[in-house]
Structure 1
Amino acid sequence: MAEGQPHKRHWSRRLALQSLYQWQLAGHSADELVEQFSGDENWAKVDQDYFEELLRESINHARELTDILATYVEGSAARVGPIEKAILLYAIYEMLYKHEIPKEVVISEAVILCKKFGSDGGYKLINAVLDQVPRKPLD
């Protein structure tokens, strides 16, 4: 991979963000979203299995992930914008269930995507929330 070129998992997270955003707003199923995003111009750059895992598991665990998010957001999780919430859903999933990925990588990737797609200053919320989320103990 050329220096400066995003890693396949970066593209997986990027499409997971876009899919989860659409899931929140339109209520499409994971299957519909996978089918839709498999036609994306960047699909060849994506770790496709990882994208599907992030999307499906973030949806499957949405209640748990949203409850955790609410713990670390002043006020209510409902106040979090849909882009930031989509990022936090997949990133909290990674923090809890993907122990092989360093916490710093999860946070860095989430902040990068929020700076690109989120609201002004939204990356500060992403950083603050993810910094507080503990890793889930291995079973």
Structure 2
Amino acid sequence: MKATDTGGNPMGRSKIREHIFKLLFMSQFNTEEEMPQQLTIYFNELEELDESDRAYMQEKYEQVISHLKEIDELLNQLSKGWKTSRMARVDLTALRLSVYELKYEEEIPTKVSINEAVELAKRFGGEDSFAFVNGILGRVAKELR
């Protein structure tokens, strides 16, 4: 699964990842039944959205959601002293997206996935979020090798 270059001016991978991050974050505040409508509203607000990028974002969002149980089990196993239920939602969302990529998307280099998650944590999280996310993802990457 990858973003395509079709259409007028597709978004870059970092911007696409940020939108997927936001969709995953939204899912923590809406029920499973509410999310299809929330996705439609979100996508309709994105003026620059190419149809292939929209399809890619929705597909990846759904893939991450479908693997949340395994992702959270791995995070709970490897995050010493922290359980997903206690993590800040921004941190947890960045972790979930990156763990999905590390575990299920071999074409994305480990360093890229971790760096992107750290950048999301810096941008949207608290003061120490990036260090927290980086530390846990380092353990995840070692475990998955």
Corresponding residue number in structure 1 for 2:64: 58
Task: Report which of the two structures shows the higher radius of gyration computed on alpha carbons.
Answer: 2
Corresponding residue number in structure 2 for 1:91: 98
**CA distance in 1: counterparts of 2:114 and 2:27, whole angstroms:** 22
**CA distance in 2: counterparts of 1:57 and 1:136, whole angstroms:** 19
The yes-or-no answer on 1:103 pairing with 2:126 is no
When structure 1 is superposed on structure 2, of 68-77 and 42-51 the one drifting more is: 42-51
> Identity percentage over the alignment?
24
Contact 1:17 1:87 in 2 (8 A): yes
Q: How many residues align?
A: 131
Unaligned runs of 5+ in 1: 1-6
Corresponding residue number in structure 1 for 2:7: none
- Shift in Å at residue 91 of structure 1? 0.9
Choose which of 42, 64, 76 in structure 2 pairs with 1:37: 42
> Following TM superposition, where does structure 1 have runs of at least 4 consecutive aligned residues deviating by more than 4 angstroms?
none
- Shift in Å at residue 40 of structure 1? 3.1
Contact 1:88 1:126 in 2 (8 A): yes
When structure 1 is superposed on structure 2, of 72-81 and 106-115 the one drifting more is: 72-81
Unaligned runs of 5+ in 2: 1-10
Choose which of 53, 61, 67 in structure 2 pairs with 1:47: 53
- Shift in Å at residue 62 of structure 1? 0.8
Corresponding residue number in structure 1 for 2:12: 8
**CA distance in 1: counterparts of 2:42 and 2:22, whole angstroms:** 9
